[in-house]
Amino acid sequence: MPYLVHSAQAQLGVFPLGLVGWTLLAMSVGLVQWRVWFFSPTLPDSSGIAWIGIWRVCFYSQEEPSPGLLIMRCSYIRFHDAFTPPEIAAAQILMFLSLGFGLLGFVCGIYALRNTFFGIKSLTRFAFCLGGASTLLAAVLALIPLLWNLAAVLTDHPIQFPGEFRIPESPKAQRVGGAVWAGLVGVALLVVTAAINISYKFPKEEMGSFKKKREGKDNLAFEFDEVRL
């Protein structure tokens, strides 16, 4: 059934798009630039600019070990720390769940594309729908912490960092970091991928030929029953 391959051209074309979206989400998880804080340094070695991610807080120290070389100091944010705000704690969990469901969507998509290549109807549409649903769930799970942290920046939400972080709890100004924008672009690409996978349908030629074969079998069985009578 070579026409079955042609029915999945859109799904095959959107597969790299979903892979790019998932990669952007994975990058946003590891990047520290979720928020950028500007503050008056309280210690002489603080640069006055801090990058806040969902796993660590970093800033450049003014102490130069050698000319032209700065040291980046980082402190880790843990889920069970008392100062960890809910939007960051939620991001630590939901972003990993999002990556997991995204991988499940890719596995289902690869299986469905393999079936179309070999002309196998069995479970093909189910695999596309399951993969699309998993990809859509991955996008929703990532969208929640991304928008939550975006809202926290726009409302100047403070964070009560411990003293060893060397960062005040409220900055003079803050802006959204590149990790949030990268994650939002990744979510949009995953939504497009999910919509196209869910919309997969068998080709009309196949459905017509299947009905004709079914009608032929029914007519043959009816004629055979007449002969027996």
Dihedral angle computed from the Cα positions of residues 163, 165, 171 and 173, in that order, rounded to the nearest 10 degrees: 170
What SS3 state is found at 76?
Answer: strand
Q: Give the tens place of pLDDT for each residue, 147-163.
A: 999 999 999 888 998 88
Out of 101-115, 150-164, 168-182, 192-206, which region has the weakest mean confidence (pLDDT)? 192-206
Q: Give the tens place of pLDDT for each residue, 79-125.
A: 999 999 999 999 999 999 999 999 999 999 999 999 888 888 888 99
Residue 201 · residue 125 · CB < 8 Å: yes
The phi, psi pair for 205, rounded to 5°, reads -60, -40
Helix 124-154, helix 86-117: angle, nearest 10: 160
* Interior angle at CA 85, CA 33 and CA 42, nearest 5: 65
